[in-house]
Structure 1
Amino acid sequence: MKVHPENPIAGEVFELRFEIEGSFDSEPFISFDKSNAEVLGKEEQEPSLSTTIINGRISTKKIARYFYRMKLDRAGSLRIRNIKTLVDNEEIRSNDILVTVLQERKEPDEIFLKAEVSQEQAYVGEAIRVDYYLYYRVFIRAPEIREFPKLNGFIKRFYMPNETPVRVEQNGEIYQKSAKYSALLFPEKAGELSVDALKLNVEYEFKRGNAQVFGPFGFAAGQFRQKYVTSEKVVIKTIPLPLEKMPKNFTGLVGHHKFNLKMDKAKFLINEPIEFSLEVEGAGALEKMDEPILFHDNNLEKFDTKSELTEISPGHSKKVFGYTYLGRGPLKIGDSSISLSYFDPRQATYIDVTLSLPALEVIGTALPSIVKDTGKDFQSPSQKVSVPVIPPSSLHQVVLAPIFSETLLSKFHNISFINKCLIGLHLLVLLLLASSFGRKMMSPANEFDTLLRKLRRGKINYNQFLMLIDFFRSGPSESLDDIINRMRISMEARNYLKSYLKKVEKNFYDLNAPGSTVKFDKKYIGQIKKIGPPDGYIARSSDF
């Protein structure tokens, strides 16, 4: 629903427009309380059909549009209440519409900034798309962001905006429209949340009457002025999820999602890594989803689960959980399944999804321990130690866990705990002294500048890259992944930074190439430069 124009003039006709989309058979019936306004007539368009193909499934939606011509003879506020739509015996209620009716037509702005959201009412955790658009009717150049919106109360997923201008009609005038800032927001709490202002500085061509200003060669030269523009705040009403119906298997996701388990084989040897992945794809806040527990057995040792988030399309992403287990003893788990659920905001209900789990088997015999750790003191040489013996004739009947030769890492593990602590303490003191000395010699601004140039030239090592990322830290407990996820850069750039971090970390611990560097893709330098560096520092353009 919308009013056209947004701010009608007293005594002039305006339209109240309805657009109904869905799979319905009967003609929709619309009713509302018009207050003091006069309804002059109603028009409707022939319903149109929209067909989409998603994952091989064809879905068809009908779109019906209705226009009510209205008029209010006096200026002031007009509230249209009790808006109801009856479709196939289902009543849909809509929020009130507040219209500001002007006494006379005001001169339209030549340049203005507007935040446009996909919806102004949503459930907690439901995706809301926001785009900040710059509208202009004069020639502009060099728009520059002076202050980013804080967007408190939302989980934020930023996108590189499509700044290609398009021609649009706004309040009866033709403008060029260009996106300057885009994000996907997920409300974290119920109530009213604000999509706060984006602030831009714009240079625009100024003409005084028909006067022309000519340059030294006789060509017309425009005069440019600067204008500071700010978008108006948009209030989002957020609805809590129904707690009384929330299932125990709720994943925290809102919106349609798919779950897919990938496991290459089902039979493993003892001490052989068991690796598989779970793919979750949909429109929800996958950043906050934790991995579900899939297998549990006393003979299974679970390692930390790794995860990676990738964007498929705006508002649709995929998160892959990489599971790693180790079978410490024989086990056999048959085919089974678990149930996961998400919340569907359109139906206002929880949807259960059954995930099939394949059979899992671990075979073989683990090597016996010579001494069992009982928590008591080690036995003296005079005490007898019972050692289980496997007859040589039966060795071919069992599968033994692999035995690895002693390496440098295993030698380190054999050092006593106290010596390890002393070594670690010495290293920590050396690092702190080196860090303190380096920061005294170089200001944060120059340090950031130097690290960014090193990154561009591909001459940055692991420790230096960590120092660069650390400039964007907001708290002492924030992980590197959290820091990168919070950076106001594109999803593609964030995923590249994470993969680059893994590469330089691997090189750092590679004994065959100690201290080697990894080439960095220069196309992401600009995004890092744009959101950084530290407060009060402006990067020199000549450095880049």
Structure 2
Amino acid sequence: MAKIGRSLLGVLVFVWSVVAFADVKVTAELDRQKVNQGETFNYIITVESTDSVSVGEPRLPSLTGVSLLDASKSSSSSTSFINGKFEYLQTLRYVYVLQAEQVGKHQIGTTEVVVDSKSYLTAAVNVEVVAGGAPAPPIAGGGGAPQSFDPFADDIFDQLLQRGNPPGGFKTQPVNPNEAFFIQVDVDKSKVYEGEQVTASWYLYTRGNVLTIDTLKYPSLNGFWKEDIEVATRLDFTNEMYDGVVYRKALLASYALFPIKSGQGMIDPYKARCQVITPSNFGLRRANYYTKSSKPVKVEILPLPKEGQPADFTGAVGQFEVTAKLDSEVAKVDQPVTLLVRFDGKGNAKLIDLPTIDFPSHFEVYDTQKESHFEKDGSSHKEFKVLLIPRQQGDYEIPSFSVSFFDPDRESYYTKTIPSLPIKVAPGDGTKAISDAPLAETGAGEKLPAIVEPPLSLAWSSGPLLTKTQRATLWSAVFSFILLFLGWQSRMELGWGRKRQDLEQLLRLRLKVVHQHLDKGDWRQVGVSVMNTMYMVLGEVSGEKGASEEIEKMFLKAPPSVRREVAEPLQKLMQSFEVLAFAPESVVGPLKDPKKLKDLVQAVDKVLFKAVRLGVGTEEMDSSAKSEKNV
């Protein structure tokens, strides 16, 4: 019995050690608080944990008065046995090399670090930049990370050559052929109208061999509606000669950008860390890690002219054609007929709205569906399917309608007109293919078949009685199993509950920022912040972290209760906030009205917290989601 007691005690100790949580500490510091203008200094983020944890890349705040030159990362772990206990410590150190640019006192705000899905914020730190003294050259990979030292540092005078650039565009060129690698940005236009396409592409140039590449930061492109042209999943190199030097060049990413507001836009840098083999001074070849960023590019954005703007202009900029047709010129009473309206051309067709059409009084607009797509060559299309229900026989016509666009090449508006479409409505057979109530009221939709569970069958079959020794052994095993199961269950429940509390806390912080923008009347930032928060919540409840998944895919991977109760209202809200975040101001319309905006924010508050409660609760496991998919 003493042996059994000691075994059970060991089981309980093991279970408690599994349930225990790691202590995490995140700090930020500077290696110097006072630097000369032009000098470099280190901003250091340290993450310490008493357990092995997953740490995301720190999210730095906006920097003023200083600029980021380089970054490096190092990690270490140690185990010690003190006072009869094992103690483990994991340390990660992120070192950011900053250069002092503007004289004065500057603050580096809080940095967010996500550790095991929990957000930690560092304290702000201050630095004073003083005039005087020759600026020290930038030191890449400082802070004790020799693997990031770059002997081929950028020329600090940044002599950008502009030869061979397209008119009005911007393209960085190689400056120092001894650089391990550099990232070139190529922008086809630097002066555009609001809503006009700007194509921005980033390329990696090197004279060495790139073994690995880690994209540390994609351009955030705030102030632009972004469409992917190509995002490389592997480096396909071609040779390019410049000033007699042969470089190896590979595309990293290419985007079609559409500015959403007039003023000065900024295409921010693309940042990557590469392991590159370069020749040494003795002719030997070695592999080192280097971190580089592209140059930021300013874009002047002109407002669309108010003079001569047609009443049927909805904000579309580009060269478009429009077509319309009925799927049948003969219909029957109470039987559906579809009007197809399609826009094709150069520009962002996703911003086009269906113009107002004065349908015959005996036609009911039952439903309108839309589908859009952007092609890699810069063309796009948007198609509207308008489902009409004729309620009375006779000869009718869908009246002519028009829609206007702005052509940035000609700097003028133009109008496309669709001629009227005749349709003959014959008597019906007395049945209605579709009821009078619209889809939203009938709740029409595909129903899943009911799940029929097999009957539970219990049977007892007598057998030979166990001996005392066998019974003792059996009960000891059962008791040990119960303890292990309870320990496992408590850890799972505590872990899930903690994750839900952490996510709710992070959601409150995000929504607090949204309400701050709301109080300031900054509707654009309200839209951007809400969209980011929606993706964050859906990423957590679906297990995809929201980085690159489409909304529909994240809903499919979310628990069934989230899909049933949250998907529809959240998608409707997302459409409104997507317009607020990315559409030109002329398209936003009444959505930016303070009262309307406040109502939308209150609605999204409720829906997101409901998504967290349903998606990170203990009622539904992943297995239930899988079961539903198999139904």
Residue 173 of structure 1 is aligned with which of 232, 235, 245?
Answer: 245
1:204 matched to 2:276? The reply is: yes
Stretch moving more, 190-199 or 265-274:
265-274
Identity %: 21
2:497 is aligned, of 440, 456, 460, to 440
Greater shift in the superposed pair: 256-265 or 443-452: 443-452
Match of 1:357 among 420, 441, 446: 420
Provide the secondary structure at the position in 2 that maps to 1:277. Answer: strand
Q: Post-superposition shift, 1:301? A: 1.9
Aligned counterpart for 1:160 among listed residues 230, 240, 244: 230
1:63-78 to structure 2, matched below 5 A, reads: none
Change (3 A) 1:141 1:466: farther
Q: Say if 1:262 and 1:463 are closer, same or farther in 2 by CA, change over 3 A.
A: farther
Deviation at 1:479, TM superposition (A): 4.6
Which residue is 1:187 aligned to? 259
Please name the residue that 2:187 is paired with: 117
The aligned amino acid for 2:412 is T
* 1:225 and 2:280 are equivalent in the alignment: no
SS in 2 for 1:304: strand
Report Cα offsets for 1:414-435 as digits up to 9, x if no partner.
xxxxxxxxxxxxxxxxxxxxxx
Where 2:307 maps in the other structure, the secondary structure is helix
Q: In 1, Cα distance between the equivalents of 2:573 and 2:172? A: 47
Alpha-carbon offset, residue 255 of structure 1: 1.6
Matched, 1:293 2:341: no
The CA deviation string for residues 92-146 of structure 1, in whole angstroms up to 9 with x for no partner, is xx8799999xxxx966533111221111111111111111111111111211111
Cα 1:300–1:78, aligned 2, differ >3 Å: closer, same or farther?
A: closer
Equivalent in the alignment of 2:298: 235
Q: Aligned residue for 1:35? A: none
- Which residue does 1:140 correspond to in 2? 210
Letter in 2 for 1:400: G
| Paired position in structure 1 for 2:324 | 261
Deviation string, structure 1 residues 223-257 (Cα, Å, up to 9, x no partner): 31111111111111111111111111224222211
Query: Deviation digits for residues 245-285 of structure 1, max 9, x if unmatched?
Result: 11112242222111111322122222111212111111222
1:22-421 → structure 2 map (5 Å cutoff): 108-161=178-231, 163-170=235-242, 172-212=244-284, 222-330=285-393, 332-334=395-397, 336-364=399-427, 399-402=429-432
One-letter amino acid of the counterpart of residue 477, structure 1:
L
Q: Quote the residue 1:478 is aligned against.
A: 574
Cα distance between partner residues in 1 of 2:420 and 2:411: 29
**Is the contact between residue 259 and residue 278 of structure 1 (CA under 8 Å) also seen in structure 2?**
yes
1-side partners of 2:294 and 2:243: how far apart?
Answer: 17
Residue 517 to residue 302, structure 1, CA distance change in 2 (3 Å): farther
TM-score, scaled relative to structure 2: 0.44
Cα pair distance change 1:154/1:450, threshold 3 Å: closer
Q: Which has the higher helix share?
A: 2
Three-state SS of the structure 1 residue aligned to 2:202 is strand
Task: From the superposition, tell whether residues 238 and 301 of structure 1 become closer, same or farther in structure 2 (CA, over 3 Å).
Answer: same
Q: For the residues of structure 1 that align with 2:561 and 2:269, how far apart are their CA atoms?
A: 32
Partner of 2:115: none
Change (3 A) 1:290 1:314: same
SS in 1 for 2:400: strand
- Partner Cα distance (1:328, 1:306) in 2: 21
Q: Deviations over 1:464-501 (max 9, x none)?
A: 48969x99x99993159969x99xxxxxxxxxxxxxxx
Structure-2 separation of matches of 1:130 and 1:340:
29
Pairwise CA distance, 1:312 = 4.0
AA of the residue aligned to 1:320 = E
Contact 1:333/1:361, CA 8 A, preserved across alignment = yes
2:350 counterpart SS class: helix
Distance 1:440 1:326, change over 3 A: farther
Tell me how far 1:323 sits from its aligned partner: 1.0
Mapped partners of 2:170, 2:361: distance in 1:
60
Cα shift at 1:190: 1.3
One-letter amino acid matched to 1:234: V
Q: Distance in 2 between matches of 1:132 and 1:259?
A: 34
Q: Deviations over 1:59-113 (max 9, x none)?
A: xxxxxxxxxxxxxxxx999999xxxxxxxxxxxxx8799999xxxx966533111
- For residues 437 and 263 of structure 1, the distance between their equivalents in structure 2, rounded to whole angstroms, comes to 59
- The CA deviation at 1:208 is 2.0
Q: Which amino acid aligns with 1:207?
A: P
C-alpha distance in 2 between matches for 1:180 and 1:190: 28
Deviations 1:123-182 (A, max 9, x none): 111111111111111111211111111111111111333542221234553211111121
- Aligned counterparts of 2:183 and 2:289: Cα–Cα separation in 1: 14
Assess if the C-alpha contact under 8 Å between 2:372 and 2:380 holds in 1.
yes
Alignment partners' CA distance in 1, 2:312 and 2:391: 29
User: Using a 3 Å threshold, how does the CA distance of structure 1 residues 451 and 126 change in structure 2: closer, same or farther?
Assistant: closer
Q: Given residue 256 of structure 2, which amino acid in structure 1 is its aligned partner?
A: L
**Contact residue 542 and residue 557 of structure 2 kept, 8 A:** no
TM-score by length of 1: 0.51
CA separation of 1:138 and 1:306: change in aligned 2, threshold 3 A: same
The answer on whether the counterparts of 2:335 and 2:433 sit within 8 Å (CA) in structure 1 is no
Q: How many residues are matched?
A: 326
Runs (5+) with no aligned partner, structure 1:
1-74, 81-93, 213-221, 366-398, 414-435, 487-513, 519-544
Cα RMSD of the aligned pairs, angstroms, is 4.8
Secondary structure, aligned partner of 2:231: coil
Contact 2:405 2:415 in 1 (8 A): yes
Change in Cα spacing, 1:202 to 1:463, as seen in structure 2 (3 Å) is: closer
Partners of 1:234 and 1:248 in 2: CA distance:
35
CA separation of 1:466 and 1:438: change in aligned 2, threshold 3 A: farther
Partners of 1:321 and 1:168 in 2: how far apart?
45
Kindly provide the CA deviation profile for residues 183-222 of structure 1, in whole angstroms up to 9, marking residues without a partner as x: 110111111101111111111113321253xxxxxxxxx4
> Which residue identity lines up with residue 402 of structure 1 in the other structure?
K
Measure the CA separation in 2 of the matches of 1:113 and 1:206: 17
SS of residue in 2 equivalent to 1:243: coil
